[in-house]
């Protein structure tokens, strides 16, 4: 698919550059998938407080995503033509942690917006 996209854009790259881009895109896809997994697990474990940060829940989610990644790599080791890699487990777990950091960031943003003092009625009447 990458070769077709590059061909459509009339972009030519050396084979080692193509291999690097292909590898990078695949790893970014895994990172994104596990970020979504982390977001989904966190929300599933805290449905009533999905944007309130809980380090305990985040730790469980990261651990669960890492464990799932290990089972995925084990499965790959059983498939002909595929290999298992602990580095991939790390990349996948990092993706889940990035998803959790997104939740933390959104929660902090909501917290900052809700803690801003509303303009008093008197000061708006004076204007």
Evaluate whether residue 89 is within a structural domain: yes
* CA distance to 28, 75, 76, 77, 83, per residue, from 80 (Å): 24, 10, 8, 8, 8
User: Cβ atoms within 10 A of the Cβ of 39, count?
Assistant: 19
C-alpha–C-alpha distance, residues 109 and 61, integer Å: 21
Evaluate whether residue 18 is within a structural domain: no
Evaluate whether residue 120 is within a structural domain: no
Evaluate whether residue 26 is within a structural domain: no
**Per-residue model confidence as pLDDT tens digits over 32-64:** 999 999 999 999 998 887 667 899 999 999 999
Evaluate whether residue 99 is within a structural domain: yes
Instruction: Write out the residue range of the structural domain in which residue 47 sits.
Output: 35-114
C-alpha–C-alpha distance, residues 85 and 89, integer Å: 7
Evaluate whether residue 20 is within a structural domain: no
**Per-residue model confidence as pLDDT tens digits over 77-115:** 999 999 999 999 999 999 999 999 999 998 888 777 777
Question: Structural domain tally of the chain?
Answer: 1
C-alpha–C-alpha distance, residues 78 and 53, integer Å: 38
Residue 17 CA, distance from chain mean position: 26
Lowest mean pLDDT among 8-17, 52-61, 113-122: 113-122
């Amino acid at each position: 698919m990458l070769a077709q996209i590059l061909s459509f854009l009339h972009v030519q790259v050396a084979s080692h550059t193509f291999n690097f881009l292909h590898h990078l895109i695949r790893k970014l896809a895994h990172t994104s998938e596990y970020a979504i997994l982390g977001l989904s697990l966190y929300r599933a474990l805290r449905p009533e407080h999905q944007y309130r940060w809980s380090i305990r829940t985040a730790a469980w989610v990261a651990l669960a995503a890492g464990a799932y990644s290990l089972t995925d790599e084990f499965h790959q080791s059983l498939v002909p033509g595929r290999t298992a890699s602990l580095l991939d487990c790390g990349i996948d777990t990092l993706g889940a942690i990035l998803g959790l950091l997104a939740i933390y960031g959104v929660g902090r943003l909501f917290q900052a917006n809700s803690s801003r003092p509303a303009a008093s009625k008197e000061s708006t009447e004076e204007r």
